Amino acid sequence: MDLETYLQNTATEVNKILDQYYGSPATELSQAANHLLFAGGKRLRPAIFKLAADIICPEKTRDILPAALALEVTHNFTLIHDDIMDGDETRRGKPTVHTLWGEPAAILAGDVLFARAFALICKAGASDRSKVIASQMLAETCEKICEGQQQDISFESRQDVTRDEYITMVTLKTGVLYGASAAIAAVLSDASDSQIEFLYNYGCNTGAAFQIQDDIIDLMAPPEKSGKDQASDIREGKQTLIAIIAREKGIDLAPYRRTLSKDEIAGLITLLQDSGVIGDVQKVAEDMVQSAIEGLSSFRDCPERKILSDLAYHFIQRGY
């Protein structure tokens, strides 16, 4: 099976189970909690969960699927709270939860999803020992995600963020939940400690690389393709890896902190390409993916391992 088909199948399966569990919200708050969860999304975390589970013990994958939802639900909880913090009005093409229900209900809707994530781990058909470890892992992961989000916010008031600080931030904010998706699947499938660690590292690295690619897309992707506002990070003076490496090379991006014409953006891209900034940024993401994939070599050769590897490359090769 190719990557695209696998992702589509997983999304269909995840949406079906979500509907079974939460399809009939009994209260207004449940509706608010469901809103973003039922608004689509690529279901990448459940996909990584399933791939990891299939590599370790395919016979168990179906039993532990509720925990795959736990990761998706956790992701959605963080998005609802992040959207409040960032004041964002749309997400997945729909109004954000706080825009529709107000901030108090949106804070609560996020909290409800947070609680459901732990309930879902407990629902997995796995040993109690592995469910306790998985819960602990999810709890630690959530605390790390919060730290990452807090660091991201704190970067807004700084112009001196270092490369290491940036990589730590994206690893916490985005990487660890991918890591936990793979690792929790492994834990619930009774994988060995080293297998769990390889899969955790796979997720952390590819998740961080995904975020770096997002920064590149923000600069490079034409708005008619991405549906987003091109070069918004540069205009807002955001401390992305592009901005950090540009600064390392003595390129001053301050003059670009304003509305930019199409030609000015094209000129900026040429400048950042010719000076090697884009190449260096891509190299960081590629190294992460390389390290993620190397860790997979210790697992048995199977279609799912190949798909995990394809997924990692997809993360840094996608154009939007």
Sites of contact with a copy of itself (CB under 8 A): 27-29, 81, 84-85, 103-105, 107-108, 110-112, 114-119, 121-122, 127-129, 131-133, 135-136, 138-140, 142-143, 146-147, 149-150, 153-154
Instruction: Give me the least distance between CB of 85 and a copy of itself, in Å please.
Output: 4
Structure-token pair, residue 52? 């990891």
Dist CA 250 CA 18 (whole Å): 50
User: For helices 44-56 and 193-220, what crossing angle results, to 10°?
Assistant: 150
What's the start-to-end Cα distance of the chain, in Å? 23
CB of 141 to a copy of itself, least distance (A): 8
Task: Say how far apart CA 308 and CA 292 lie, in whole Å.
Answer: 10
- Cα(138)–Cα(143) distance, rounded to whole angstroms? 9
The position carrying tokens 């994530």 is 117
- Cβ distance to a copy of itself smaller for residue 24 or 259: 24
Tell me, rounded to whole angstroms, the distance of Cα 259 from its chain centroid.
29
Residues 6+ apart with CB under 8 A from 74: 45, 113, 114, 117, 138, 141, 142, 177
Query: In this structure, which amino acid lies at residue 10?
Result: T
Chain mean position to CA 297: 23
The least CB distance from residue 309 to a copy of itself, in Å, is 31
Which residues does residue 40 pair with via DSSP β-bridges, in sequence order?
Answer: none
Which is it for strands 94-95 and 90-91: parallel, antiparallel or unpaired?
antiparallel
With beta carbons less than 8 A apart as the criterion, state whether 275 and 249 touch.
yes
CB burial of residue 217 (10 Å; 0-12, 13-18, 19+):
middle
Q: What whole-number distance in Å separates Cα of residue 49 and Cα of residue 186?
A: 8
Which of 6, 178 has the CB closer to a copy of itself?
178
Rounded CA-CA distance 116/211 in Å is 26
Q: Which CA distances in Å does 251 have to 89, 90, 216, 219, 264? A: 33, 33, 17, 16, 15
